[in-house]
């Protein structure tokens, strides 16, 4: 190992742990400032997320959302594209899933609907990402701008559809009708009855998310397309010189990215809510950016980062519930600190750790 480099377990294990620790220490100070006991807060946060079956179920449920959106951002990242439109793509993907469920739920069992719903979500999500991808490739319109704008177009489209077309007559809430059993994904609490998931909404979409992680890993590191995506991301000019079409890679990568984000609806629309409702994505598309950054674009890292954010979401809700002075805005502060230290300041501790390991390795070399 050369000087200034770190063993992989330090790079991928110790550094993130240090960042996380720093984030929690600062959060603890904020908790002290508002007059609460930080250890009590941590206790509720961790217990609420991992202490009992239902908490674990909710943590996994949120993590499932973040795995999908995290993978979506990561795939685009490998091609050097910053897809901020995961939110809109997930929202529109949910529409595709809901349309499939609404069309099929009364006639067939869920396992017949399931593959069609996956296709529906992926196709709608991909279609929503196609236009920004195409504009980037052909017209040079920056993808960051267009995907953000498409988030707004998506929400406008969904408000229109939900309050005019999909809404059942005479109801107040802008949402579609409830899916019958044929449009409902089985909840894990009904599948694994030996483990007590309480009333949590974690469902089979969790396993779909894990399967998609494997697919993305194979795609990015073990296929020709994946190689092209990574080459293009590393150096677009060199990739073009080597005969890789920038237009094709940009559009195809965005299609894959949008399809992955679109699958998020499987978890929420088909798994938990069993209906399409306003704002169901609830910011998961944006959390996906943080998840992809923290997970370094690798599926394993994304799963771990998703679990962390799932823990923060679920534990945070329990914390706000148990200690009323810690409002939901406090929870957002804690989440933001984690993103700040793990994302923006990820190299803060690096020089110190490198120095430590250099001294350590040189002293062992002498001995």
Partner 1 sequence: MKTTTILGAVALAAVMTTGAMAETFKPAVVYDFGGRNDRSFNEAAYKGALQFEERTGIKFRDFEIQNPSQREQALRNFARRGLDPIITIGFAQAAALEKVAKEFPDTHFAIVDSVVDLPNVRSIVFKEGEGSFLVGLLAAMSTESDTIGFVGGMDIPLIRKFACGYKQGAKYAKPDIEIIENMTGTTGAAWTDPLKGGELARSQFARGADVVFHAAGLTGTGVLQAAADEGKLGIGVDSNQNHLHPGSVLTSMIKAVDVAVDKTLTDAKEGKWTSGVEVLGLAENGVSWSYDEYNKPLITAEMQSAVEQAKMDIISGKVEVHDYMVDSTCPF
Nearer to partner 1, 137 or 158 (CB): 158
CA distance 259 to 124: 7
Q: Which residues bind partner 1 (CB under 8 A)?
A: 58, 61-62, 152, 155-156, 158-160, 163, 167, 169-175, 178, 199, 201, 268, 272-273, 275, 277-280, 282-283, 313, 317, 320-321, 324, 327-328, 331
Give the CA diameter of the chain.
81
Give how far Cα 82 sits from Cα of 118, 199, 347, Å.
24, 37, 21
Nearer to partner 1, 26 or 167 (CB): 167
Token code pair at residue 117: 């719903």
Q: Which is nearer to partner 1, 57 or 226 (CB)?
A: 57
* Residue whose CB is less far from partner 1, 189 or 298: 189
Distance CA 90, CA 269 (A): 11
| Token duo for residue 150 | 């498409």
At its nearest, how many Å lie between partner 1 and the CB of residue 74? Answer: 22
Q: How far is the CB of 79 from partner 1 (least distance, A)?
A: 28
Distance in Å, CB of 225 to partner 1, minimum = 35
Q: Which phi and psi angles does 158 have, rounded to 5°?
A: -70, -40
- In the chain, what is the straight-line distance between the N-terminal and C-terminal CA atoms, in Å? 17
Work out the angle at residue 60's Cα, subtended by the Cα atoms of residues 54 and 66, and round it to the nearest 5 degrees.
145
The backbone region for 217, taken as left when phi is positive above 0, alpha when psi lies in -120 to 50, beta otherwise, is alpha
Report, in Å, the least distance between residue 106 CB and partner 1: 19
Least CB distance from residue 209 to partner 1, whole Å? 16
Residue 331 beta carbon to partner 1: minimum distance, rounded to whole angstroms: 7
**Number of other CB atoms surrounding residue 161 within 10 Å:** 17
Backbone torsions φ then ψ of 254, nearest 5 degrees: -65, -35
Closest separation between CB of residue 282 and partner 1, Å?
4
Backbone angles phi, psi at 71, to 5 degrees: -60, -40
Residue with Cβ nearer partner 1 (140 or 324): 324
Which residue, 81 or 269, has its beta carbon nearer to partner 1?
A: 269
Q: How many residues does the chain have?
A: 367
Nearer to partner 1, 281 or 305 (CB): 281
Nearer to partner 1, 175 or 253 (CB): 175
Contact between 295 and 304 (Cβ < 8 Å): yes
The minimum distance between CB 262 and partner 1, in angstroms, equals: 18
């Amino acid at each position: 190992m050369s000087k200034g480099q770190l063993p992989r377990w330090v790079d991928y294990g110790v550094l993130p742990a240090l960042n996380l620790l720093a984030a929690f220490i600062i959060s603890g100070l904020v908790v002290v400032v508002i007059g609460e006991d930080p250890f009590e807060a941590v206790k509720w946060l961790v217990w609420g997320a991992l202490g009992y079956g239902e908490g674990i179920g909710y943590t996994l449920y949120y993590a499932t959302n973040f795995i999908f959106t995290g993978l979506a951002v990561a795939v685009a990242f490998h091609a050097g594209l910053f897809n901020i439109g995961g939110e809109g793509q997930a929202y529109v993907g949910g529409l595709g899933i809901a349309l499939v469920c609404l069309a099929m739920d009364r006639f067939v069992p869920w396992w017949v609907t399931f593959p069609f719903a996956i296709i529906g979500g992926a196709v709608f999500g991909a279609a929503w990402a196609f236009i920004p991808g195409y504009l980037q490739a052909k017209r040079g319109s920056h993808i960051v701008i267009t995907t953000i704008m498409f988030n707004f177009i998506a929400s406008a489209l969904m408000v229109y559809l939900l309050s005019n077309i999909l809404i059942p007559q005479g109801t107040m809430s802008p949402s579609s009708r409830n899916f019958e059993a044929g449009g409902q994904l089985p909840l894990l609490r009904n599948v694994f009855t030996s483990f007590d998931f309480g009333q949590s909404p974690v469902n089979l979409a969790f396993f779909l998310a894990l399967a998609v992680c494997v697919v993305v890993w194979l795609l990015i590191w073990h296929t020709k397309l994946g190689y092209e995506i990574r080459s293009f991301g590393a150096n677009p000019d060199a990739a073009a010189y080597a005969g890789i079409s920038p237009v094709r890679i940009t559009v195809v990568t965005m299609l894959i990215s949008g399809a992955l984000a679109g699958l998020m609806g499987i978890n929420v629309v088909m798994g938990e809510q069993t209906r399409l409702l306003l704002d169901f994505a609830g910011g998961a598309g944006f959390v996906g950016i943080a998840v992809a950054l923290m997970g370094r674009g690798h599926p394993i890292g994304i799963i771990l980062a998703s679990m962390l954010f799932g823990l923060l979401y679920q534990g945070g809700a329990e914390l706000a519930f148990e200690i009323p002075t810690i409002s939901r805005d406090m929870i957002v502060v804690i989440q933001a600190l984690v993103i700040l230290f793990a994302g923006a300041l990820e190299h803060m501790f690096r020089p110190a750790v490198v120095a430590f390991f250099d001294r350590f390795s040189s002293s062992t070399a002498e001995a």
